[in-house]
A and B are shown apart, each in its own frame.
Chain A
């Protein structure tokens, strides 16, 4: 026959702690326990009616605060102008058109001037002549 084991003080403390942990676990897991009640209290909080998304709750009630000041108008105007792309401005097309027309005129005018400086067109050959020769003549 085996001798009966004698309980020590340490083992008694461990047993007590284990029992306490088991009781706490049961209390926390039970639905009607006070621990679950904390979660239940969150549900009514969600029941508060939401403000509509389109409504700006931060909008001031004082109309004078919403009225545009001259400075606001200037900023708005400046921003409106700044949003346009450069090719959407008439000034861009006016300058571009001027450059193109000027370039074409310069090319044709330059050619005409160069041709004129170099004698221009030779006069037509008299049909009664044998032929015409020399500079400017097609020969």
Chain B
């Protein structure tokens, strides 16, 4: 009977460790690239990062947290934490004029990463197109 005790302890420990959640971090850098200009992105006052796939979430960026962008071409980096460790995870950036409305969508771009054992993964969302019809640039009067 005694030799079985260590085996049971190992099985129990393995079950506990196997059942543990581990944070995985996705650092997503959002950048603008030509032909998108700083003037164009500056009209965006509300932005969103939609997480889909292995994790699901909707992150609003506003009031200086990413929108309107405080830098260009590097708009900034967000970090997303999740327990997901398998499958693909997609981060989609949507920049709006003022509200979440398809008619006010200025720019959108995505980055897809594969969730795995890595604790931290880096990704980049590059904005390469801008809809000036939905989001006309500010007109400055001399």
Q: Is the CB of A117 within 8 A of B19?
A: yes
Q: Is the CB of A118 within 8 A of B21?
A: yes
Task: Say whether A119 faces chain B, with CB atoms less than 8 Å apart.
Answer: yes
Chain B neighbourhood of A125, CB < 8 A: 79
Q: Given B55, B78, B83, which contacts A119 in the complex, CB threshold below 8 Å?
A: B83
Q: Given B20, B25, B80, B82, which contacts A123 in the complex, CB threshold below 8 Å?
A: B25
Task: Say whether A133 faces chain B, with CB atoms less than 8 Å apart.
Answer: yes
Chain A neighbourhood of B8, CB < 8 A: none
5-44 of chain B: CB within 8 A of chain A? 16, 19-23, 25, 27
- Which residue, A116, A126, A133, has most C-beta atoms of chain B within 10 A? A133
Task: Say whether B118 faces chain A, with CB atoms less than 8 Å apart.
Answer: no
Q: Given A122, A131, A133, which contacts B23 in the complex, CB threshold below 8 Å?
A: A122
A55 to B85, CA, bound (A): 94
What are the interface flags for A121-137 relative to B under an 8 Å C-beta threshold, 1 for contact and 0 otherwise? 01101101111111111
Interface of A is mostly: loop
Q: Is the CB of B81 within 8 A of A122?
A: yes
A131 to B65, CA, bound (A): 7
82-139 of chain A: CB within 8 A of chain B? 116-120, 122-123, 125-126, 128-137
Task: Say whether B117 faces chain A, with CB atoms less than 8 Å apart.
Answer: no
CB distance from B56 to the nearest CB of A (A): 11
Q: Given B21, B76, B79, which contacts A133 in the complex, CB threshold below 8 Å?
A: B79
Q: Is the CB of A133 within 8 A of B16?
A: no
A129 to B22, CA, bound (A): 22
50-89 of chain B: CB within 8 A of chain A? 51, 55, 57, 59, 61, 65-66, 76-83
CB distance from A27 to the nearest CB of B (A): 104
A122 to B77, CA, bound (A): 18
A44 to B55, CA, bound (A): 115
Q: Given B21, B65, B79, which contacts A117 in the complex, CB threshold below 8 Å?
A: B21
A128 to B27, CA, bound (A): 12
CB distance from A109 to the nearest CB of B (A): 13
Chain B neighbourhood of A135, CB < 8 A: 23, 81-83
Q: Is the CB of B78 within 8 A of A129?
A: yes
A119-B21, A119-B23, A119-B83 in contact; A134/B55 too (CB < 8 A)?
Answer: yes
A119-B83, A135-B83 in contact; A130/B23 too (CB < 8 A)?
Answer: no
Chain B neighbourhood of A136, CB < 8 A: 23, 81
